[in-house]
Amino acid sequence: MECDICRRGYDAHRLPFLCPVDARNRIYPGRIENVHLLLENERLQEQIHGLLSADGAKSSKDAVELSLAKQRLVEDRTSQILAAADKLRDEIRSAKEEIKARTTALARRRSDLASVSDGLQERWAKQQHEMDKSIQMASFRWSQCAEDTARTRSFLCTEAIRLYGLKRTRKSNTSRYDYHIGKIPVVDLTSMDSLAPEVISTSLAHVAHILLLVSHYLAVRLPAEITLPHGDYPHPTIFSLASSYRHRPPLPFSSGPVTTPSSAHARDSDTQHVPRPRPLFVDKPPAQLSKDDPAMYSFFLEGVTLLAYDIAWLCSCQGVSIGDKDSFEDICHIGRNLYTFVLSSQLQAYVRLPVKTANQGGHGHDGSVDVASSPSNWIGRYSHGTMYYYLGGVEGTEFVRTFKLPSPMKLADKLKKKLLGDAAGVDWEVLDDEAWKPDEAPNHDWTTKGKSHAIIDKLRDQGGKALPRTGSNGWTKVKPRA
């Protein structure tokens, strides 16, 4: 085994390994290199210290500036806080002053209210009494105005019908009456087969015109709408209850089926229901019309029954009695119902009914009308044109329900059955009272003059004397016609 430095072998009696010279010589290069490294380290330290000294001076300047900026910020913030504190002090001071002023004002108002409250109940009671009195006066004036309006309407209706010349004449030796407008007899629906078609059409036109005038003066909307002759159609018509006041624009009137101006427009309006008015005229005798045109005959009967229904409804809503409201004869007696309406209108013009104000339980906003205790004659009161006796209101609707009339279709069916049943007895002929008189009055063209005279000639005996008239009024058995 040898030394790693001098390569000398091992000897137990000498120093083992690592001799000083060899060791020193061995470590010299490392020492030199270490010295170089130390010198380099010193040089680098000097550079670092130089750099650090320069940065320190610069950083100290920045620190001073930063501290000054922070100081300024703190000063600004402090000034803002002080300003806010001053502002709050001012607001607190002004709030205290406002509270003090309000307290003073409230105290003054309390004192004023206390002084005003003395006698307040008496003043309130006085004002309420004056208000109630003014309301009562207004209600009284309103009710008086309603009564004056009703009398004016009644007078206008009376004058309109009087100008038309509605008259009643008693049949000779009977208790029945004939009714005429001018010199035209008012159509009796149950016996109109004996009248000429011109007389029927003229009579119905007059009745329709009178009815429209009366409904206009009374401001009443009739259940079945009536259309008078106009530029588009020269005859009066009437609509059914379901079709009235619902057709817009105006319909193209015609006696046949209703048609539109063009086929293209008709195709566009196929889905729209167009109501058909019922005619109030005939161009043939009713018996012949029932054979030639049954559909038009049915429409005509519906029209005259709708007209009679309008008259009966108008009389009922104006307090005019028409007899039994369920009776076919009473409802369809146009002449008698119109004449009864005239008599009631004349009575209304002279009799002043007691006025009931709202606070007395009369017809007003605070009370209701007791129909049973009201006078039986109140023509001109109920209408669709005024609010005091308004037919469209709750009370008016309930009042209309009290005189519910039969359906016009049922009346038309009864009339058709009666007329066709009477026409079926060909061996019988209805004789008017005029038919029993001698040929002294040739001017009555609207009666069945020729037919009646022929029957009278057949009833004369061989001696030239007429059969006695006892028991011959009305339906009479005659000989069969050839």
C-alpha neighbours within 13 Å on the C-beta side of residue 150: 28
pLDDT of 171: 79
Q: Where are the alpha helices (DSSP H) in 176-293?
A: 197-218, 263-268, 286-292
Res 51: pLDDT: 78
Predicted local confidence at residue 431, as pLDDT = 52
The percent of residues above 90 in pLDDT, for the chain, comes to 29
Q: Is 406 left (phi over 0), alpha (psi -120 to 50) or beta?
A: beta
How would residue 41 be classed by pLDDT, with cut points 50, 70 and 90? very high
Query: pLDDT tens across 412-462, in order?
Result: 998 888 888 766 554 455 455 555 555 443 343 333 334 333 333 433 333
Dihedral, CA atoms, 136, 142, 147, 150, nearest 10 degrees? -160
Question: Between the CA of residue 166 and those of 179, 342, 343, 443, what are the distances in Å?
Answer: 7, 9, 11, 19
Q: State residue 468's pLDDT score.
A: 39
pLDDT band at 22 (very low <50, low <70, confident <90, very high): low
Instruction: Supply the pLDDT for residue 225.
Output: 92
pLDDT score of 257: 37
How buried is 378 (Cβ within 10 angstroms: 0-12 exposed, 13-18 middle, 19+ buried)?
Answer: buried
Question: Could you give the CA distance from residue 398 to residue 120 in angstroms, rounded to a whole number?
Answer: 45
Lowest mean pLDDT among 4-18, 104-118, 400-414: 4-18
- Average pLDDT rounded to a whole number, residues 107-131: 87
Nearest of 377, 378, 376, 360 to residue 368 by alpha carbon: 360
Does residue 411 surpass a pLDDT of 50? yes
The mean-pLDDT minimum among 145-154, 196-205, 267-276, 304-313 falls in 267-276
Tell me what the mean pLDDT of segment 25-49 comes to: 87
- Its pTM surpasses 0.85: no
What mean pLDDT do residues 284-288 have?
88
For residue 342, name the pLDDT band (cuts at 50, 70, 90).
Answer: confident
The helix/strand/coil state of 74 is helix
Q: Residue 16 has what pLDDT? A: 54
pLDDT of residue 222: 92
Tokens representing 373 are: 């205790």
Lowest-confidence segment of 197-211, 320-334, 344-358 by average pLDDT: 344-358
Report domain extents, the chain.
146-246+276-352+378-422
What percentage of residues in the chain have a pLDDT greater than 70? 69
| Averaged pLDDT score across all residues of the chain | 76
- Enclosing H/E stretch for 49: helix 20-116
- The pLDDT tens digits for 199-222 are 999 999 999 999 999 999 999 999
Q: Which residue has the higher pLDDT, 184 or 377?
A: 184
Per the DSSP assignment, residues forming a β-bridge with 474 are 431
Residue whose tokens read 């059409």:
201
Secondary structure (DSSP) of 259-323: --S-HHHHHHTTTS----PEES--SS-HHHHHHH-HHHHHHHHHHHHHHHHHHHHHHHHTT---S
- Would you say 446 and 147 are in contact if contact means Cβ atoms under 8 Å apart? no
- Please give the helix or strand (H or E) that residue 158 lies within, else none: helix 120-164
Q: How many helices (H) and strands (E) does the chain have?
A: 11, 8
Q: What is the rounded distance in angstroms from the CA atom of residue 59 to the CA atom of residue 92?
A: 48
- pLDDT reported for residue 349: 52
Asked if the model's pLDDT at residue 266 lies above 50, the reply is: no
